[in-house]
Amino acid sequence: MTVPLSFLRYQAPNIVGMFGNGLRSALPRAVGGRTPDSAPLHRRLEPVPPALIEAYAEWTGAPADRYRDELPPHLFSYWALGLIADLTGRVPYNVLSIVNQGCRMVVRRPLPTDEVLDVTGRLGEIVDDGRRIRIATHLEIGTDGAPGAQSVDVLTAVPHRNPKRPRSAAPREPARTFETVGTWSAAAGDGRAFALLTGDFNPLHTLELVARRTRYNGCILHGFGLLSRTYETLRNAGVDIAVFDVRYVKPVPLPSAELAVTLAREADADGGRALRLASPDGTLHMAGHLHEKEPA
């Protein structure tokens, strides 16, 4: 689909927040002993424009009537990116090289489309594991009519230029039987389309000339783009989702082959079901778990 350039007018807060904080973090400064500000940030945001909701839902693969009266839960990539940028901009590291590693989304009730959004965010745990600095941020989203409707935990990382220890082996997961519940693929222009819908104009996703000079040798799809299309593929298959917890394993190049969304046949002990997003050759791009109701 083609997303109109006119949507740029909705994206100023995210563009300013992401690039402004990134550039400030790259300036030379003394950071020894600097402690990140842990005070929460609170924003009240105007209702999301209906035209943007409609275009975003279409891009994710949702049917036209699914989000007529409620917001897509994963649309936090539009209303929260600026706040996340302000929070991660508090850490004493160069966040221009920050990468998205995963996300946990809890949906308690629908967010209405016509109400002002209350968003509160705070920095979570910051851990240096020798290879990267992991930065967690926590968001709570609601409205006057639906307080505490949703929470989102986003995990990002700043890689070390000279890692102090080798990459550790991935933990072995228990054997499971997966079944394919749906597929989706990404077009060459999907990085630019998602940027116009959410304000994330990282050149790695939008500018081929820049992206070709990176280790990915071309543009890749946003992590939140993987999340949203996979979420809607599961919804289209009749899966209700209250908790969606994923980690990004390997980027999806643009354009991509058809990707399979698979779900474990059996639930785990806590009632969750494992999910995967993989290429036809078996390459794993995203993995995680979902719950159809929030665990007690």
The label of the residue with tokens 């221009």 reads: 96
Type of residue found at 114: D
Considering the domain architecture, whether residues 150 and 242 belong to the same structural domain is answered as no
The pLDDT value given to residue 33: 47
Q: Is residue 280 part of a domain?
A: yes
Last residue of a domain, one of 130, 159, 188: 159
- In the beta sheet, which residues pair with residue 263? 179, 275
Q: Are 190 and 269 within one domain?
A: yes
Tell me if residue 58 falls in helix, strand or coil.
helix
CA angle (118, 122, 128) in 5-degree steps: 155
pLDDT tens by residue, the chain, 296 residues: 789 999 999 998 888 777 777 667 666 554 444 567 889 999 999 999 999 999 999 999 999 999 999 999 999 989 888 899 889 888 888 877 888 999 999 999 999 999 999 999 999 999 998 889 999 999 999 999 999 999 999 999 988 877 766 666 666 777 789 999 999 999 999 999 999 999 999 889 999 999 999 889 999 999 999 999 999 999 999 999 999 999 999 999 999 999 999 999 999 989 999 999 999 999 999 999 999 987 76
Residue 169 forms part of a structural domain = no
Yes or no: say if 123 and 137 are a contact pair by the CB < 8 Å rule.
yes
Could you check whether the bond before residue 255 is cis, i.e. omega within 30 degrees of 0? yes
Query: CA–CA separation, 206 vs 221, rounded Å?
Result: 9
- Tell me, yes or no, whether 190 and 268 share the same domain: yes
Q: Cα–Cα distance between 46 and 33 in angstroms, integer?
A: 38
In a domain, 166, yes or no: no
Residue 68 placed within a domain: yes
Q: Is residue 87 part of a domain?
A: yes
User: Do 115 and 66 reside in the same domain of the chain?
Assistant: yes
Contact 107, 101 (CB under 8 A): no
Name the one residue in this structure whose structure tokens are 């997966």. 178
251: tokens are 């980027």
**CATH number of the domain enclosing 60:** 3.10.129.10
Say whether 56 sits in a helix, a strand or coil: helix
Instruction: Indicate whether 210 and 141 sit together in one domain.
Output: no
Residues 144 and 197 reside in one and the same domain: no
Together in a domain, 146 and 27: yes
38 CA to centre of own chain = 22
Both tokens of 162, joined, read 């000279």
pLDDT for position 28: 57
Q: Residue 285 is encoded by which pair of tokens?
A: 């791009």
Q: Which two tokens stand for residue 159?
A: 């890689």
Q: 142 and 219, same structural domain?
A: no
pTM more than 0.85: yes
Closest to 78 (Cα-Cα) out of 99, 57, 93: 57
Q: How much is the pLDDT for 295?
A: 75
Q: Convert the pLDDT of each residue in 167-194 to its tens digit.
A: 666 667 777 899 999 999 999 999 999 9
Q: Is 150 helix (H, G, I), strand (E, B) or coil?
A: strand
The alpha carbon dihedral of 49, 52, 57, 63 has a sign of: positive
Residues 155, 23 share a domain: yes
Residues 63 and 141 in one domain: yes
Is residue 173 domain-resident? no
Supply the range of the domain harboring residue 56.
Answer: 5-159
Looking at the fold, whether 108 and 35 belong to one and the same domain comes out as yes
Residue 85: inside a domain: yes
Residue 204 lies in a domain: yes
